[in-house]
Structure 1
């Protein structure tokens, strides 16, 4: 890639690098530019605040607030500024404009208009390790943690905890469908709560493909122990297979439920049955960290081998050879201009449609 350096500064004095990619002639999407925040820094979460023209970037070293007009870094945030912990796993923006930041061992920080508030288990939070947020249309705000899920009443900030009801206590993915049912992706399968009753699914029900590459089977691989929250383990460790381990969830407008698995590809639940897409079908990698449905209806998947776009018929994959900063893509977001942002080790990459 061609590189050009701008004078921005990132977290802890790290220089932000702007790399302009050489565009492929035939590809529908290509790498436009990358923002490098440091070789040993992981970007684990992204969120777009469209009204404020802001991209929030959660890293292993703190938080970046990037203006979408010119992609300037407006602010950086660390513990000194009010964050509970500088390792940001998840970012959620609620209907009242509060930004919620889920951290590694630090609980949750909430931010709006320059004011910070922190929530710990003593306040009702299920655990200090927080992985995902989502909000129901009725205003209930959900939090997925390492020890169950919370439903938060935003009026009273009352935390209700769900633990024994789940198929597994480690909750990494959340999705809410059009009937306001809440879907939980856990380390032991998928659970669904309709407000009264629970339903559960595992690999025995069709969740996750029987991996065609015959990877070694692991009952608990990845983020499920505290010493494995270090993403260097994910990127450098042996590639294993656990189709019950769900990293990401998405409910599409047709109420199909998409689940990103550990080694079993992407699972889709429709009409009472699961079916699966893997690298044999065109998916970049079978470990799926993130799922995004773009404004044009296409699905994007962040995997351990790059990012894939699927329009229902055809696949396109981009990896480091195309200009991504790293192969493992942990989060995806779409900005109002239609561009896709991919988060990885070292920074974020902007993908745009080829002319």
Structure 2
């Protein structure tokens, strides 16, 4: 069956509410998912927390529910709500609830439901802005509502009259839409700016603004895109990139991006220009697989043949050591004590300090010699993700704790690691994403709605 997630909400108490397109409502709290028994196989399509902390739940075919102080109330035709399917929920500046229906909009003022005149199309997107206006969208049209009336938005350029769905208002007051042809549309009140991110609007899953003001667009199958101070920009071979597979990116302290390529080329991207630096250690070009930078601004690059390259002032110096020879360098990390940690494929973990390279393998408790990713946490601890041995917490001279599928990890192949602002460690694996906190491990897989179980990067 379909185990897709139709809607998500994190409330002010930190509980995650998950609506399922195959039926049911889940709550994630204290490291555990639990079903809400009142919903059974009811399809939940909309979730909203109002300014009073109440949770509103819109269903497909079973009306509207409100969760308040531990109790659920069901609103149906007996309460003046004629529609059985609630596609979207939002709250305006007056505290009124707007409900998107298959045939228009209902407004609830906590006492009665009232239809909104002039809108009869299906509405599955509702976005109030800071000026008191409410933007509505659906397959058959987009509307701007002010006062008690709504005005259809004229067809936008290049969209040929197809609908655009309002998704969010950013902190600057700009409105963001998902267009029917898979473009994100930015509207500042005067002009519309388009940026292509996907093949159709339904593949655009979410638009989110982070604390730095960057806009992130998540898609189903078309990647993750970030907007910073304007439209999204794509770079191709026409802009100077080599016709090559790119393997890793490092941004240094000056904002310059350094990109490694499989044909032995290091690429600098600065001021809109790509500059290639061919790297050759004397035995022909070798794929460059990993890159990092140290506190002195030098770059360190790992190759498929186990060469460690120091790049400084436009010049490359190739370093060889028996601990690295013949083992592909897959990951590099400079820690806060200025120690270089090197993850290799089949050669285990290698520490570089004062020109001495020390290997660590099975004798140090490493669960697998094939290292895929490294992370230093905020306490200075080293985490090692492996290809088949799960995750290892490395302290001193050995792995002190191992996490595997048998102990709750989503999968024993660990591709990526990220620690968030609260100290929680997120682990991307070949079987989903795991969340490691003081409360233990919890995993999210395709059973909970992930579109793919292979998580190669976490930002």
For the pair 1:181 / 2:365, whether they are aligned, the reply is no
Distance 1:136 1:10 in 2: 36
Distance 2:200 2:285 in 1: 34
Q: 357, 369, 372: which is aligned to 1:198? A: 357
Task: Please give the per-residue CA displacement for 1:27-86, whole angstroms capped at 9, x wherever unaligned.
Answer: xxxxx9732455xxxx6xxxxxxxxxxxxx7xxxxxxx62157xx851111112111245
Q: Does the aligned pair in 2 maintain the 1:290–1:303 contact within 8 Å?
A: yes
Name the residue aligned to 1:161. 318
Q: Does the aligned pair in 2 maintain the 1:151–1:159 contact within 8 Å?
A: yes
Q: Does the aligned pair in 1 maintain the 2:244–2:263 contact within 8 Å?
A: no
For the pair 1:35 / 2:219, whether they are aligned, the reply is yes
Q: Indicate how the Cα distance of structure 1 residues 105 and 271 shifts in structure 2: closer, same or farther if over 3 A, else same.
A: same
For the pair 1:249 / 2:383, whether they are aligned, the reply is no
Name the residue aligned to 1:260. 385
Q: Indicate how the Cα distance of structure 1 residues 165 and 179 shifts in structure 2: closer, same or farther if over 3 A, else same.
A: farther
Residue correspondence of structure 1 range 83-232 to structure 2 within 5 A: 83-85=241-243, 87-105=245-263, 107-122=265-280, 127-147=285-305, 148-153=307-312, 156-167=313-324, 168-187=326-345, 188-208=347-367
Q: Does the aligned pair in 2 maintain the 1:256–1:268 contact within 8 Å?
A: yes
Q: Indicate how the Cα distance of structure 1 residues 123 and 37 shifts in structure 2: closer, same or farther if over 3 A, else same.
A: farther
Q: Indicate how the Cα distance of structure 1 residues 122 and 20 shifts in structure 2: closer, same or farther if over 3 A, else same.
A: closer
Deviation at 1:179, TM superposition (A): 1.4
Q: Does the aligned pair in 1 maintain the 2:378–2:423 contact within 8 Å?
A: no
Q: Indicate how the Cα distance of structure 1 residues 124 and 327 shifts in structure 2: closer, same or farther if over 3 A, else same.
A: farther
Q: Does the aligned pair in 2 maintain the 1:305–1:328 contact within 8 Å?
A: yes
Deviation at 1:313, TM superposition (A): 3.2
SS in 2 for 1:326: coil
Higher RCO structure (Cα 8 Å, ≥6 apart): 1
Name the residue aligned to 2:205. 19
Q: Does the aligned pair in 1 maintain the 2:321–2:357 contact within 8 Å?
A: no
Distance 2:327 2:278 in 1: 17
Name the residue aligned to 1:269. 394
Distance 2:350 2:392 in 1: 14
Name the residue aligned to 2:175. none
SS in 2 for 1:321: helix
Distance 2:319 2:200 in 1: 42
Aligned pairs, number: 260
Distance 1:2 1:281 in 2: 29
Distance 1:287 1:127 in 2: 29
SS in 2 for 1:76: coil
Q: Indicate how the Cα distance of structure 1 residues 66 and 126 shifts in structure 2: closer, same or farther if over 3 A, else same.
A: farther
Q: Indicate how the Cα distance of structure 1 residues 94 and 301 shifts in structure 2: closer, same or farther if over 3 A, else same.
A: same
Name the residue aligned to 2:39. none
Distance 1:125 1:317 in 2: 44
TM-score with structure 1 length normalisation?
0.65
Distance 2:351 2:237 in 1: 35
Q: Does the aligned pair in 1 maintain the 2:264–2:280 contact within 8 Å?
A: no
TM-score with structure 2 length normalisation?
0.51
Name the residue aligned to 2:425. 299
Deviation at 1:280, TM superposition (A): 1.9
Q: Indicate how the Cα distance of structure 1 residues 324 and 131 shifts in structure 2: closer, same or farther if over 3 A, else same.
A: farther
SS in 2 for 1:280: helix
Structure 1 runs, 4 residues or longer, greater than 6 Å off = 123-126
Name the residue aligned to 2:457. 331
Q: Does the aligned pair in 2 maintain the 1:262–1:287 contact within 8 Å?
A: yes
Alpha-carbon RMSD: 3.0
